[in-house]
Structure 1
Amino acid sequence: MATLDGDRLVDWTAFAQARTQLGANFVRILGYFQEDGVKSVALIEEAMRSANAAAMVLPAHTLKGESRQFGAEPLAECAAAIEDIARHCVENRYEPSEALKHVVELRPLFQATLTLLEREANPLVERRPMFGRRPAA
């Protein structure tokens, strides 16, 4: 599992690009990511409990794409692993037990990532210096 540290959980350059591209819609779309992510994680966990690989595919796919949009690559990779395993299990009629490790990692990874994204998106938070510049003393 990725360590829960901000510089590993989020590619801040990709995050800044998303913020620029989305402009005034950024905060609203980040809110959708939060809502969709909570639902996707819950659906994936429920599908794991019921050994239903088919029910894992769409929420994992959704979480993967939305995570990449905000530079949350470790979260996207975890969701991608779940999606890939689930698709393989559906095709071969297996139970998705192989996905358990990733499903267990998913919720804490999502929560840590979301906390970082929301903190960085908050207009009241002091911004980190970009590109190695140090703030004036």
Structure 2
Amino acid sequence: MSYYYSIPLVNEPELAQARAVIGAGLARIIGYFREDGAKSIVQIEEALATGNAAAMVIPAHTLKGESRQFGARRLGDIAEVIEKTARRCVEQHTAPEEVASEVAMLRGCFVETLAVLEAGAPAAPAPQPVSYAPAPVAPRPAASFGNAPRTFGRRIG
């Protein structure tokens, strides 16, 4: 069994703090996390497949930070190991093969984490009806424009 399974999937106090700070917008923010996280994982997997450590650094860093803002400890820690290893591989001019097992766990961990986050997110508020009636416009007194004719841009003369 992997060391990572000893790390909680989501730290509930940290998720509760994010819920308190973000409030009803949490569901929307988690939606952004879903999109950005999926893109990051694809980029990391492609970088591993091509042996491009440099291409792993930014998506792993992004995934780490976004995960940790919700208390997603396991995903954040896996992404951090990938990021740190990729940085070292860039410095040493080596391929990032040693994080293949972490990259293999990434997608499943991401899916599990999303399920927990979405279950704990408050429901998005119902959209308010939009009124398309024009807002009343108060007439402006002619004196406020002075005696000069109205123009757009620079005044000439």
**TM-score range for the pair, normalised by the shorter chain length:** 0.7 to 0.9
Equivalence for 1:20: 20
Letter in 1 for 2:79: A
| Structure 2 counterpart of 1:94, one-letter code | T
- Distance (whole Å) between structure 1 residues aligned to residue 111 and residue 38 of structure 2: 9
Q: Which runs of 5+ in 1 are unaligned?
A: 125-137
**Superimposed CA distance per residue, residues 97-117 of structure 1 (whole angstroms, 9 cap, x where no aligned partner):** 111111011111111111111
Mapped partners of 1:36, 1:20: distance in 2:
22
Query: Distance in 2 between the 1:122 and 1:37 partners?
Result: 20
Q: Deviations over 1:45-95 (max 9, x none)?
A: 010001000000000000000000000011000000000000000011000
User: Is 1:59 the counterpart of 2:59 in the alignment?
Assistant: yes
1:122 CA displacement:
5.1
In the TM superposition, residue 3 of structure 1 has moved relative to its aligned partner by 3.4
Matched, 1:3 2:5: yes
Residues 1:34 and 2:37 are matched in the alignment: no
Instruction: Report the count of equivalent residues.
Output: 122
State the percentage of identical aligned residues.
Answer: 51
What are the superposed Cα offsets for residues 13-65 of structure 1, whole Å, 9 maximum, x if unpaired?
10010011112322211111111000011110010001000000000000000
- Could you tell me the TM-score, scaled by structure 2's length? 0.73
Q: Which amino acid aligns with 1:92?
A: Q
Give the aligned CA root-mean-square deviation in angstroms: 1.8
- For residues 115 and 86 of structure 1, what CA distance do their matches in structure 2 show? 28
Structure 1 letter corresponding to 2:5 = T
Matches of 1:56 and 1:85 in 2, distance apart? 9
Gaps of 5+ in 2: 125-157
Query: Hey, what's the Cα distance between the residues in 2 that align with 1:16 and 1:122?
Result: 11
